[in-house]
Amino acid sequence: MQIGLQVGFIGLGQMGSGMARNLMKAGHTVTVFNRTPAKAEALVAEGARRAATVADACRGAAVVTMLAHDAAAEEVVFGAEGLLATLPKGAVHVSASTISVALSERLAAAHAAAGQLYLSAPVFGRPDVAAAGNLFVVAAGATAALDAAQPLLDAMGQKTFVVAQEPSRANLIKLSGNFLIACVIESLGEAMALVGKAGLDKTQYLELLTTTLFGAPVYKNYGRLLAEPGDAPVGFAAPLGLKDIKLALAAAEALEVPLPLASLLRDRFLTLLATGGADQDWSAIGRLAARDSGQP
Amino acid sequence: MQIGLQVGFIGLGQMGSGMARNLMKAGHTVTVFNRTPAKAEALVAEGARRAATVADACRGAAVVTMLAHDAAAEEVVFGAEGLLATLPKGAVHVSASTISVALSERLAAAHAAAGQLYLSAPVFGRPDVAAAGNLFVVAAGATAALDAAQPLLDAMGQKTFVVAQEPSRANLIKLSGNFLIACVIESLGEAMALVGKAGLDKTQYLELLTTTLFGAPVYKNYGRLLAEPGDAPVGFAAPLGLKDIKLALAAAEALEVPLPLASLLRDRFLTLLATGGADQDWSAIGRLAARDSGQP
Amino acid sequence: MQIGLQVGFIGLGQMGSGMARNLMKAGHTVTVFNRTPAKAEALVAEGARRAATVADACRGAAVVTMLAHDAAAEEVVFGAEGLLATLPKGAVHVSASTISVALSERLAAAHAAAGQLYLSAPVFGRPDVAAAGNLFVVAAGATAALDAAQPLLDAMGQKTFVVAQEPSRANLIKLSGNFLIACVIESLGEAMALVGKAGLDKTQYLELLTTTLFGAPVYKNYGRLLAEPGDAPVGFAAPLGLKDIKLALAAAEALEVPLPLASLLRDRFLTLLATGGADQDWSAIGRLAARDSGQP
Amino acid sequence: MQIGLQVGFIGLGQMGSGMARNLMKAGHTVTVFNRTPAKAEALVAEGARRAATVADACRGAAVVTMLAHDAAAEEVVFGAEGLLATLPKGAVHVSASTISVALSERLAAAHAAAGQLYLSAPVFGRPDVAAAGNLFVVAAGATAALDAAQPLLDAMGQKTFVVAQEPSRANLIKLSGNFLIACVIESLGEAMALVGKAGLDKTQYLELLTTTLFGAPVYKNYGRLLAEPGDAPVGFAAPLGLKDIKLALAAAEALEVPLPLASLLRDRFLTLLATGGADQDWSAIGRLAARDSGQP
């Protein structure tokens, strides 16, 4: 029988809250930390322990981080009283954030030097999927790190893909995945601009697409956001979308791989941000094609 | 009980042969015509009647055309002793070819003036899908045309989507669909160039993608062609891919809708053709990203 | 001493009027035709003969055409009582219009078959340059055609570049030149969007550019249109700009040459037309970068 | 009469060597430093003083830096015994390097805090222009910094453009200028791919362009490199071209300005580097269009 672990959880945004909650449901003892403490209230009310500092979340056998960008992850790991300084030797840092390949490489080296384990484990899924425990986890790291983290991954996701021993490979795959999703958004946006301007019903068009060749959830979900905008919640904000495309471009640049679609997506995100879309869901880039065609 | 129809079938390429065969299997009496007569041999051996001319294929209640491009369709319809001149009043022309929106509009007007019915019914699916009778049919036209053609569509496809009364709308949707497929090819090609240059296994990467967010057949099929090239049959030749992207761009231009992804795809196809890829499957555009990144 | 020629002039738009006038100034006897007769008034008042039909303009040793697009040129040449039917054997058709490479090839073949001479002689310069007789002429054709046309070219332009015996080569060069000008517009537009959003003065910025590395007239003229818009006359309308980029793309496609910049420019023009810019000068595409960056 | 200044010069690459030599010719006493000391030999033989360290070059009233990239400039300024630590109060740092807008802002703040003057003064011109003292200087900074540096700028360039008080504005203009040059290279490369594949002579084509609308040096110089490749010296290496386009994109991103042409150029540079062109002049990106069209 699996005995619950003592685990810290840092980063309680839309994604992290659901993930931490699923760790608790699975029987783990979770100590939560968020820079804005108010976001911890709900979980504490449900039984999570409250960490006053990052260090307080680093007393157990594992700590999971789910942060918005490289800068936040750097601060939490390398800052004074951060993970690197306070996590016990042999404990594992499970990094679920979508961070750069370069930072993941730095984390791997730093944790190794500090005698800590490091598992890169970014996830696919929007907040509702995180809440349901149905994330897909892409994991890369040493076997010991993976073994230590497996019960946690099982609690947070429906399936774990172990892709490599080298942690940053998981980040590369995660970034490539978000790039592919953004390509779906852009291509659907262009196709809908076309059929929409011809007077066809976008929802029926989407139905046709998704019951035939494009039956993947990503087409259904983002297609709906494009066909019926307005009441969509912001599951993933536009600036985060730009961030991820930039990280994909940076990783590709380091490998000398030109990605013309990613370049186009980057320009779309900049256009969106520059024209008042910073508060919108990242799928809003898919409406720029319609705008450029003169549609409202 | 459905009694078989007298139906002509013009255009016995990889797609058309399978479609005609399924009409025969469904009990229809099929008279086949192909410009290169040799392609009719197999079907004739299986019981099809051989038409010596286009006109010979136009004696029945319906004629299906499945031709490679606008020029072929124009010749078959508008040529001397073509469909327009020889198809009986009240009979239906089922145009399954992927042709331009503009030509479809011309066909609609011409058939109406001649007292013939016209159903635009382009299909989604590669040759193996056509052979299995599992095509998706996108149909647009007057109710009378649709009613007359329905038994034929049922024999050739697994499902018919009726999208509009105006025939050319079906062509627009077909072209937008091929555009979306090409976007999948290009985006997968770029993503695989990225992870491939990082040393990851492309087949495993594809497995990860298609068992999570990208579980649509189009990702599986084209992903496999990209991950394991070499032994792939040419299901849809590169010049036809260029043709379809050009038709999508032309339709979009008539509506004043810029499609930057389609522009990029057009350039990819031109590059492919100019550098020796005219004989390859259209999915070969997805390997240009790897080539530009210096991979073999 | 040069004796004036009997020359017809067909197409009295902004460019053609100035060109015809310079032929008259040089001592040639000019018979003018325009589909909208009112545009001939001014020239007739200055001494030009009025042609009631295209055929009336084809009685002399030469006819110059300066038409807006392929369709107009086709009608004038191939139409009933058109150039092909009425121009005397041995007379020369000087085609100054910016038409497609493909149409120029058709014209060359048709005139040769009819025993007429054909000189492709497109020009560089906006209406004010045409009025001043300072156009640059790019000429291609048989020596006999060139010799016959030379006095006319001398009257209309400041210099003639003889580029090939094959007439359509001149059209290709003309189209490539307009493509290069459009690239200047787009690149200046992007650069000005950048420095403008940083608060720098666009006119001073342009002064810096054009007194250093970018001292060509095309930078000065189009830079000014971009830096100080609003009062600019429409020297070359946006739909004509789109037409020329499309012709460049078509010529490049026939040669299997991908032109990614031309693809981008085509999308810019479509965006401009779709968002209310059809009446603007083609340089207005250079303001779309500023628009996409949220500048007014 | 102008009395020569005591001036340090750091960075003796192809550009810096010529600039330092012109300072000496103008009567200034120049102390030179280069990380690889051998590059200082020639200048020392001509009378320059040799600095053993960066600090040794910072004893006078001014120090000019001409370094290859941000990292080098950061080390020289912020490093132990760097400019910031050793330049006397009131002395001026003239930064001629093409560095990022962001670094220029950091330098401005740091020098101000240290009581030193800072003039951002990037230059336009290739090595031969630098050697001839004909650079164009784009200067931005406080009046005191400009006054102190003016004799030096006069010695190195043919003209100084004072663009703003805020130093980083000069860097933005410099980056935008290099972006515009790269646009010229790419557009000429595409046009030459087109006319070249049609069989026209590229040198004659260039002659036509540059004696008409495109008479700027940048078209002549880069056009020649494209029309007659092979024997061209590497005036500006491809990786530096990529660097500058990246800095332009970064500056534009900070201002939320999408630059689609710069995105395309970035992909071109990555393609060039990934396919063996890292040692070539940056103009080699202009040959990729021909390569994509199947030309050798």
Q: What is the pLDDT along chain C (296 residues), one digit of tens a residue?
A: 457 899 999 999 999 999 999 999 999 999 999 999 999 999 999 999 999 999 999 999 999 999 999 999 999 999 999 999 999 999 999 999 999 999 999 999 999 999 999 999 999 999 999 999 999 999 999 999 999 999 999 999 999 999 999 999 999 999 999 999 999 999 999 999 999 999 999 999 999 999 999 999 999 999 999 998 776 678 889 999 999 999 999 999 999 999 999 999 999 999 999 999 999 999 999 999 999 999 98
Number of helices (H), then strands (E), belonging to chain A: the values are 13, 9
SS3 at position A124: strand
- Quote the tokens at residue C266: 């085509």
What is the spatial distance between Cα C114 and Cα C92, in angstroms, rounded to a whole number?
Answer: 11
* Angle in degrees, CA C147, C153, C154, rounded to 5: 100
B274/D292 Cβ within 8 A: yes
Note down pLDDT in tens along chain A; length 296 residues.
457 899 999 999 999 999 999 999 999 999 999 999 999 999 999 999 999 999 999 999 999 999 999 999 999 999 999 999 999 999 999 999 999 999 999 999 999 999 999 999 999 999 999 999 999 999 999 999 999 999 999 999 999 999 999 999 999 999 999 999 999 999 999 999 999 999 999 999 999 999 999 999 999 999 999 998 776 678 889 999 999 999 999 999 999 999 999 999 999 999 999 999 999 999 999 999 999 999 98
- Smallest CA-to-CA distance from D19 within D93, D104, D123, D120 is with D123
Stronger pLDDT, B233 or D65, i.e. the higher one: D65
- Quote the tokens at residue C65: 């055409």
Report pLDDT for C267.
Answer: 98
Distances from the Cα of B9 to the Cαs of B70, C96, D85, D106, in angstroms? 17, 48, 86, 74
Q: Which residue of D has its CA nearest to C221?
A: D213
Which residue intervals of chain D bear CATH 1.10.1040.10? 172-292
Distances from the Cα of D158 to the Cαs of A272, D14, D22, D29, in angstroms? 42, 18, 11, 20
User: What is this model's ipTM?
Assistant: 0.95
List of chain B residues whose C-beta atoms are within 8 Å of the C-beta of residue D270: 292-293
List of chain C residues whose C-beta atoms are within 8 Å of the C-beta of residue D260: 190, 264, 289
- Smallest CA-to-CA distance from B92 within B134, B24, B139, B133 is with B139
The number of beta carbons lying within 10 Å of the beta carbon of residue A30 is 29
C-to-D residue pairs, Cβ atoms closer than 8 angstroms: 171
- Quote the tokens at residue C274: 């779709």
- Quote the tokens at residue A255: 């490998």
Is B26 at the interface with chain A, CB within 8 A? no
Distance from the Cα of D253 to chain A's closest Cα (Å) equals 7
The shortest CB-CB distance from B263 to any of C253, C257, C263 is to C263
Q: Which residue of A has its CA nearest to B164?
A: A200
Select the residue from C245, C246, C253, C261 to test the B interface by mutation, using most B Cβ atoms within 10 A: C253
Distances from the Cα of A230 to the Cαs of A164, A209, A272, A284, A293, in angstroms? 41, 22, 16, 10, 19
Q: Which CATH superfamily is domain D6-166 in?
A: NAD(P)-binding Rossmann-like Domain (3.40.50.720)
Neighbours of chain C (3+ CB pairs under 8 A): A, B, D
Which residues of chain D are under the pLDDT cut of 70?
1-2, 231-232
Sequence letter at residue A170:
A
The answer to whether residue B87 scores a pLDDT higher than 90 is yes
B231 band by pLDDT with thresholds 50, 70 and 90:
low
What is the spatial distance between Cα B218 and Cα B196, in angstroms, rounded to a whole number?
Answer: 20
C174 is catalytic: yes
Residues across chain B: 296
Q: Which CATH class is domain A172-292?
A: mainly alpha
Residue D93, phi then psi, degrees to nearest 5: -100, 115
Cβ-contact D104, D83 below 8 angstroms: no
What is the spatial distance between Cα D30 and Cα A117, in angstroms, rounded to a whole number?
Answer: 54
- Which positions of D are annotated as active-site residues? 174
The answer to whether residue B229 scores a pLDDT higher than 80 is no
- Smallest CA-to-CA distance from A98 within A171, A12, A34 is with A171
Report pLDDT for C231.
Answer: 65
Buried b (16+ CB within 10 A) or exposed e, D96-108: bbbbbbebbbbbb
Cα torsion angle, C10, C16, C17, C23, sign = negative
- Smallest CA-to-CA distance from B101 within B165, B171, B161 is with B171
pTM comes to: 0.95
SS3 at position B222: helix
What is the spatial distance between Cα C101 and Cα C247, in angstroms, rounded to a whole number?
Answer: 8
- Smallest CA-to-CA distance from C282 within C133, C98, C159 is with C98
SS (H, E, C) B37-88: HHHHHHHHHCCCEECCCCHHHHCCCEEEECCCCHHHHHHHHHCCCCHHHHCC
| Interval B235-259: pLDDT, tens | 889 999 999 999 999 999 999 999 9
- Quote the tokens at residue B144: 């009378």
Distance from the Cα of D79 to chain C's closest Cα (Å) equals 30
Report pLDDT for D1.
Answer: 40
Report pLDDT for D41.
Answer: 96
Is A263 at the interface with chain C, CB within 8 A? no
B2 band by pLDDT with thresholds 50, 70 and 90:
low
Distance from the Cα of C271 to chain A's closest Cα (Å) equals 5
SS (H, E, C) chain C: CCCCCEEEEECCCHHHHHHHHHHHHCCCEEEEECCCHHHHHHHHHCCCEECCCCHHHHCCCEEEECCCCHHHHHHHHHCCCCHHHHCCCCCEEEECCCCCHHHHHHHHHHHHHCCCEEEECCEECCHHHHHCCCEEEEEEECHHHHHHHHHHHHHHEEEEEEEECCCHHHHHHHHHHHHHHHHHHHHHHHHHHHHHHCCCCHHHHHHHHHCCCCCCHHHHHHHHHHHCCCCCCCCCEHHHHHHHHHHHHHHHHHCCCCCHHHHHHHHHHHHHHHCCCCCCEHHHHHHHHHHHCCCC
Which residue intervals of chain A bear CATH 3.40.50.720? 6-166
- Smallest CA-to-CA distance from D140 within D117, D110, D113 is with D117
Strands of A34-124, DSSP E: 49-50, 62-65, 92-95, 117-120, 123-124
Select the residue from A285, A292, A293, A295 to test the C interface by mutation, using most C Cβ atoms within 10 A: A292
From the candidates A39, A89, A159, A174, give the one annotated as an active-site residue. Answer: A174
Is C216 at the interface with chain B, CB within 8 A? no
- Quote the tokens at residue C253: 């496609």
The shortest CB-CB distance from B176 to any of A195, A251, A255 is to A195
Residues 222-261 of B with CB under 8 A from A: 248, 251-252, 255-261
The shortest CB-CB distance from D173 to any of C188, C195, C262 is to C195
Distances from the Cα of B273 to the Cαs of A258, B261, C256, D210, in angstroms? 20, 18, 7, 32
B271/D292 Cβ within 8 A: yes
Is A276 at the interface with chain D, CB within 8 A? no
Is D197 at the interface with chain C, CB within 8 A? yes
Report pLDDT for C235.
Answer: 83
Is C270 at the interface with chain A, CB within 8 A? yes
What is the spatial distance between Cα C188 and Cα C192, in angstroms, rounded to a whole number?
Answer: 6
Sequence letter at residue A219:
Y
Alpha helices in D198-259 (DSSP H): 202-210, 217-227, 238-254
